[in-house]
Amino acid sequence: MSLVVQKFGGSSVADADSIKRVAQRISLYSKAGHQVVVVVSAMGDTTDELIDLAEQVTDTPPARELDMLVTAGERISMAVLSMALNDAGVDARAYTGSQAGLITDEVHGKAHILRVTPGRIQEALEEGSVAIVAGFQGVSQSTKDITTLGRGGSDTTAVALAAALEADVCEIYSDVDGVFSADPRVAPAARRVPYISCEEMLDLAANGAKILMVRSVEYARRYAVPLHVRSSYSGRLGTIVSDDPERVIPIDPDVTIRTADVARRDAADPTKELPMDDHSDPGLEAPIISGVAHDRSEGKITVVEVPDIPGRAALLFDVVAGSGANIDMIVQNSSTVDDTVAISLTLPEDDAPAALKAIEQSHEAIGYAEVRYNDQIGKVSIVGAGMRSHPGVSATLFRSLGEAGINIDMISTSEIRISVVTEQSALDDAVRVIHSAFGLDAEQTEAVVYGGTGR
């Protein structure tokens, strides 16, 4: 018997029929004897509709009241899902975030979880019930007010509960089959990644992959919770996110698998419906890179002719950080003609107005000549633990972009990631040529697996 946490997003519970379908999936696990905790988002567009309602009465809703309002969405979906389960003969009980013990700080709209005290959930499980928990919400330890966890909050709820309950796996259900080697809308040859480390997943998420939020992956890594990102529309294997290749997790009511075996088995027949009982080993060599992420949401600030005096660059970064902006990449170029430097930095477009204002207010102290801002940039990143042991990765990256005529504006690297900034109009092409250059296209992967050539 396993303890499984299953999280269903808003599109999986958009209407009564979807909810009944989700209830059927949950009941398979419950009826097979597993303990199941379900975390659920608000139905379909409910959250947006509630925010619209708020905007009809005020332009400046107090954060506390807005949290109270939007959390009604999960209260509705969890109660209806619980009813559907009971109707299917499964004893189920729904709990708000507060009842489930999600204790947070008091920062409305983006609260952090301080601790999880799931006593009522454990009681429900011990009594043989499925526990349904409202995602995205908690209760403030200090004020006892209802809080929300911000974007991707339901994933975080699921991972936090899985950690507190020491669940065998935390399944994240959505309408796609898992994590892909690139966004399939941009790179049609993108393929599903069967197994990925937390570190790689973090780098993908931080650089534009939208399937999981950074925060839930960080939580999963910290508490060693294996994640399984999969579709609520099929019984197929999705993507396992874990740092422990020896961890054995349930992937179906009747099947468990060692995480390190997932990629191997998946490659043998990537479209196969579970349960899988094929123990053949096709001898897959792990690809050098796991995926290509892209991001259009950043802008670039360039500060020109900053005096090359110790402390001036530091002052600039202090000023920008003080405006609340999250700086991503930084490039500094020395002038060849005078004692000045040009400093470029990228940051979320939403943070740019405050940062620009702060820089202008410090014009005299920094002593620069000019500030420029460009929001037409794009960032493409390759992520893969295999890069550590493979020389020539950056050479392949730059050669493929050069052959496609794509200019590189900025570069940043970590041990398992290279990101480059290009013009936004060239971004989609950049994703495709890089995806091909590293042998990630679906046909090429077949060649690698079965022919041993092609890379």
Given the rule CB under 8 A, which residues bind a copy of itself? Answer: 16, 19-20, 23, 50, 53-54, 56-62, 64-66, 68-69, 71-73, 75-76, 78-80, 82-84, 86-87, 92-94, 96, 99, 120, 144, 146
CB of 139 to a copy of itself, least distance (A): 10
Q: Name the β-bridge partners of 3.
A: 35
Residues 6+ apart with CB under 8 A from 317: 327, 330, 345
Angle at 204 between CA 281 and CA 328, to 5 degrees: 155
- Computed from CA positions of residues 116, 121, 122, 125, in that sequence, does the dihedral angle turn out positive or negative? negative
Supply the minimum distance, in Å, between the C-beta of residue 71 and a copy of itself.
7
Nearest distance in Å: CB 86, a copy of itself:
5
DSSP 144-199: --EEE--TTHHHHHHHHHHHHHT-SEEEEEESS-S-BSS-TTT-TT--B-SEE-HH
We find the least distance from the C-beta atom of residue 146 to a copy of itself, in angstroms, to be 8
Residue located via tokens 């954060």: 63
CB of 377 vs a copy of itself, minimal distance in Å: 37
Residue with tokens 């042998």: 439
**Minimum distance between the CB of residue 62 and a copy of itself, rounded to whole angstroms?**
5
Residue with smaller CB distance to a copy of itself, 42 or 217: 42
Contact predicate 246/260, CB 8 Å: yes
**Widest Cα–Cα separation across the chain:** 79
CA distance 438 to 382: 9
Nearer to a copy of itself, 6 or 46 (CB): 46
Kindly tell me which of 122 and 302 has the beta carbon lying closer to a copy of itself: 122
- Closest separation in Å from C-beta 55 to a copy of itself: 9
Residue with smaller CB distance to a copy of itself, 69 or 186? 69
Output the smallest distance, CB 416 to a copy of itself, in A.
44
Shortest Cβ 363–a copy of itself spacing (Å)? 37
- The radius of gyration of the chain's CA atoms, rounded to the nearest angstrom, is 24
Which residue is listed with tokens 């499984």?
A: 4
120 versus 455: smaller Cβ distance to a copy of itself: 120
What angle is formed at CA 38 by the lines to CA 94 and CA 161, rounded to 5 degrees? 100
Alpha-helical segments (H) within 269-350: 312-322
Question: Quick check: 432 and 187 in contact, CB under 8 A?
Answer: yes
What's the token pair of residue 386?
A: 């295999």
Smaller CB separation from a copy of itself, 54 or 186:
54
Which of 66, 125 has the CB closer to a copy of itself?
66
Q: Of 123 and 375, which has the nearer Cβ to a copy of itself?
A: 123
Alpha-carbon torsion, ordered 272, 274, 279, 284, to 10 deg: 50
Closest CB 152 distance from a copy of itself, rounded Å:
22
Asked if residues 197 and 242 have their Cβ atoms less than 8 Å apart, the reply is yes
Residue with tokens 């400093």: 343
Q: Could you tell me which residues are beta bridge partners of residue 192?
A: 180
Q: Which is nearer to a copy of itself, 87 or 278 (CB)?
A: 87
145 vs 349 by CB, closer to a copy of itself: 145
Strand order in the sheet with 113-116: 113-116, 102-104, 137-140, 146-148
